[in-house]
């Protein structure tokens, strides 16, 4: 009889340790998802900071292209004011990317601007920032995929249900124009 009690206690301890480990795994993945979302925010903030410098540099060369500059400024303001998760901000971010594409396309008509060192440096910085935003989005999606897989997999789905861990949405580009690569040539 004593052996049976020890076996039951051992099984209970192992089960409790498994529940604790599974719960901690979910907490770790949820925190990584939040970190990944924050990384996206950091890079988009960097882009927001670069845009006014780009607009000021371009203003002197493109006086007749005022609407393009205004569109970039409006899109930046809308993107900065959008709240919620990274997925909620995706639409305004896509509008900002489109406005920047328009600005770079119009800038091709101005040879003096294309040779301006400040403009070239800002162009490089924005391009670098766009690459970092894409890397942050990929990292976010990989963490979300790992979390969602664990939530859906047996037996960890039992723990996920008990502690109300929910699936997260992937960062996706819904606009077909945004799926096209940015072509920034000067």
d(CA 176, CA 137): 17
d(CA 28, CA 51): 35
pLDDT at 176: 53
pLDDT bucket at 52, cuts 50 / 70 / 90: confident
Task: Say which residue, 94 or 138, is predicted with more confidence.
Answer: 138
Cβ contacts of 154 within 8 Å, gap of 6 or more: none
- Does the CA dihedral 59-62-66-70 come out positive or negative? negative
**How confident is the model over 61-67, as a mean pLDDT?**
70
35: pLDDT strictly greater than 90? yes
Q: Are 107 and 114 in contact (CB under 8 A)?
A: yes
Lowest model confidence (mean pLDDT) among 35-39, 83-87, 118-122, 160-164 = 83-87
* Nearest alpha carbon to residue 155 among 30, 31, 22, 14: 22
172: pLDDT strictly greater than 80? no
pLDDT at 124: 86
Helix-strand-coil split of the chain, %, nearest 5: 80, 0, 20
* Nearest alpha carbon to residue 131 among 86, 169, 181: 181
Q: Is residue 19 part of a domain?
A: no
Task: Say which residue, 132 or 105, is predicted with more confidence.
Answer: 132
State which residues form the domain around 98.
Answer: 32-162
**How confident is the model over 18-47, as a mean pLDDT?**
92
- Domain of residue 156, CATH code: 1.20.1440.20
Q: Is residue 177 part of a domain?
A: no
11: pLDDT strictly greater than 90? yes
- Residue pLDDT, tens place only, 77-115: 888 888 776 666 777 887 888 888 888 877 777 777 766
Helix axes 86-107, 117-152, angle to 10 degrees: 150
Q: Is residue 12 part of a domain?
A: no
Q: Is residue 110 part of a domain?
A: yes
Query: Which H, E and C letters describe 134-184, residue by residue?
Result: HHHHHHHHHHHHHHHHHHHCCCHHHHHHHCCCCCCCCCCCCCCCCCCCCCC
pLDDT at 87: 67
d(CA 47, CA 166): 31
Q: Is residue 180 part of a domain?
A: no
Number of domains the chain is built from: 1
Q: Is residue 90 part of a domain?
A: yes
Q: Is residue 20 part of a domain?
A: no
pLDDT at 21: 94
Is the backbone of residue 31 left (phi > 0), alpha (psi -120 to 50) or beta? Answer: alpha
Q: Is residue 93 part of a domain?
A: yes
């Amino acid at each position: 009889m004593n052996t049976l009690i020890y076996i039951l206690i051992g099984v209970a301890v192992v089960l409790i340790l498994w529940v604790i480990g599974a719960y901690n795994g979910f907490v770790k993945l949820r925190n990584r998802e939040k970190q990944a979302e924050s990384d996206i925010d950091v890079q988009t903030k960097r882009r927001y900071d670069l845009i006014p410098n780009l607009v000021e540099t371009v203003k002197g060369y493109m006086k007749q292209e005022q609407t393009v500059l205004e569109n970039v400024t409006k899109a930046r303001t809308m993107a900065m004011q959008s709240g919620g998760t990274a997925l909620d901000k995706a639409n305004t971010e896509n509008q900002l990317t489109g406005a920047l594409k328009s600005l770079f396309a119009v800038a091709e008509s101005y040879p003096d601007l294309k040779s301006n060192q400040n403009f070239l440096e800002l162009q490089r910085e924005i391009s670098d920032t766009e690459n970092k935003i894409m890397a942050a989005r990929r990292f976010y999606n990989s963490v979300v995929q790992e979390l969602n897989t664990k939530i859906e997999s047996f037996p960890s789905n039992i723990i996920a249900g008990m502690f109300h861990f929910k699936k997260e949405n992937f960062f996706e580009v819904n606009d077909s124009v945004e799926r096209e690569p940015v072509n920034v040539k000067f």
